[in-house]
Amino acid sequence: MESLTNRKKVVSDKPMTLWEKAYLPAIISGMMTTMRHMFRKRKTIKYPEETREFAPVYRGQHVLKRDEQGRENCTACGLCAVACPAEAITMTSAERERGQEQLYREEKYAATYEINMLRCIFCGLCEEACPKEAIFLTDRLVPTFFERDNFIYGKDKLVETLDERIDITTRQHTGKRSQI
């Protein structure tokens, strides 16, 4: 059969020739290889000072978005929690009172919204399920903690603050991957 690639290599166990038995040529060629590596570019990323560049589609810590007027997008419909394969998302809903129109966009909002970052597998299905463009995964990393409780992120950590909006424009193309 004709091979599909040119990577095929026939191996044999025929006895070594005198040249191969002498070891030295092989050793010297091996040393030349290591010498070449000595002058190569280092692959190391010195972590605390430098960080690895993220892919544009990187899925890190979640953010709960607000709209242009600073109102929370989330209506606590629960579709993200249903979509979540790791069952990391829980929430309770509440009805918007009169006078809270500048806080929440719809009549119903999430009173609590928690993601267990130890359960989360960062698949991004919550983001795909969300009909209100409320939850997105960002390129931020979830830091490490010593206590398990610290990994349960509430609304205090998830909702973006008004003065520090988080850019998610690279991820607003759900279903249209070719644009990324």
Partner 1 sequence: MDTALLIEKSILVLLLFLVSLGAAAYMTYFERKLAAWIQDRVGPDRAGPFGILQPIADGVKMFLKEDFIPAKADKWLFIIGPGIAMFTALITSAVVPWGPKLHLFGRDIALQVADINIGILYVFGVLSVGVYGIMIGGWASNNKYSLYGAIRASSQMISYELAMGVSAITIVLLSGSLSLNDIVTQQSGVWNVFYQPVAFFIFFVCALAELNRAPFDLPECESELVGGYHTEYSSMKLGLYLFAEYTSMFVSSAIMAILFFGGYNFPGMSHFSGNTLAIIGIAAFAIKIFIFIFVIMWIRWTIPRFRFDQLMHLGWKTLLPLSLINLLITGLVIAFKNGWF
Q: Interface residues with partner 1 (CB under 8 A)?
A: 27, 30-31, 33-35, 37-38, 40-44, 46
Q: Which is nearer to partner 1, 38 or 162 (CB)?
A: 38
Of 40 and 177, the one with the shorter C-beta distance to partner 1 is 40
Q: H or E segment at 80?
A: helix 79-83
CB of 146 to partner 1, least distance (A): 24
Q: What is the largest CA-CA distance in the chain?
A: 94
Least distance (Å) between residue 94 CB and partner 1: 51
Cβ contact 76:109 at 8 Å: yes
Distance from the first to the final alpha carbon of the chain: 41
Q: Is 36 or 176 the residue whose CB approaches partner 1 more closely? A: 36
Look-up: residue for tokens 């299905």? 125
Nearest approach, Cβ of 164 to partner 1 (angstroms)?
33
What is the rounded CA–CA span in Å between residue 133 and residue 103? Answer: 16
| Minimum distance, C-beta of residue 44 to partner 1, in the bound complex (Å) | 4
Nearer to partner 1, 44 or 102 (CB): 44
Distance, CA of 65 to CA of 165 (rounded, Å): 8
